[in-house]
Amino acid sequence: MDFLWMLLIGLLVGAVAKFLMPGNDPGGIIVTMFLGVAGAFVAGMLGRGLGWYGEGEPAGFIASVIGAILLLVVYRLFTGGGRHVHH
C-alpha cells in the first residue's frame, strides 16, 4: 500500500512540476510519476544534507515539487525538450 501511495503522490508532484514548467516533454503518466517520485527523493536527500529532515523523514510536498522541477530542468538541458515547435 505504501508503494501505491508513493506512486500517487509522485504523480501529483510530477503533474504540479510540469504545470509550473509547461513545455513539450515526451512521456506520459509513467514519466510524470517517475519525475515526482525522483523529485521527492532528490528533495529528501538535499533536505537531509542541509539538516532540514531527519534520517528516514520524507520530504515535504513543496520540497518534492521543487526537486521535481530541478530534475525537469536537468532533463530538458540534456534532451533539448520543453521547446515549443512553431509552424
Domain ranges of the chain: 2-77
* Three-state secondary structure string covering the chain: CHHHHHHHHHHHHHHHHHHHCCCCCCCCHHHHHHHHHHHHHHHHHHHHHCCCCCCCCCCCHHHHHHHHHHHHHHHHHHHCCCCCCCC
Higher pLDDT, 24 or 61: 61
Query: Quick one: pLDDT at residue 87?
Result: 45
Asked if residue 42 lies in contact with residue 64, where contact means CB atoms within 8 angstroms, the answer is no
Q: Is the pLDDT of residue 5 over 50?
A: yes
| Helix 29-49 / helix 61-79 crossing angle, nearest 10 deg | 120
For residues 38-50, give the mean pLDDT. 83
pTM of the model: 0.72
Q: Find how far residue 35's CA is from the centre of its chain.
A: 4
pLDDT category of residue 83 using cuts at 50, 70 and 90: low
pLDDT category of residue 86 using cuts at 50, 70 and 90: very low
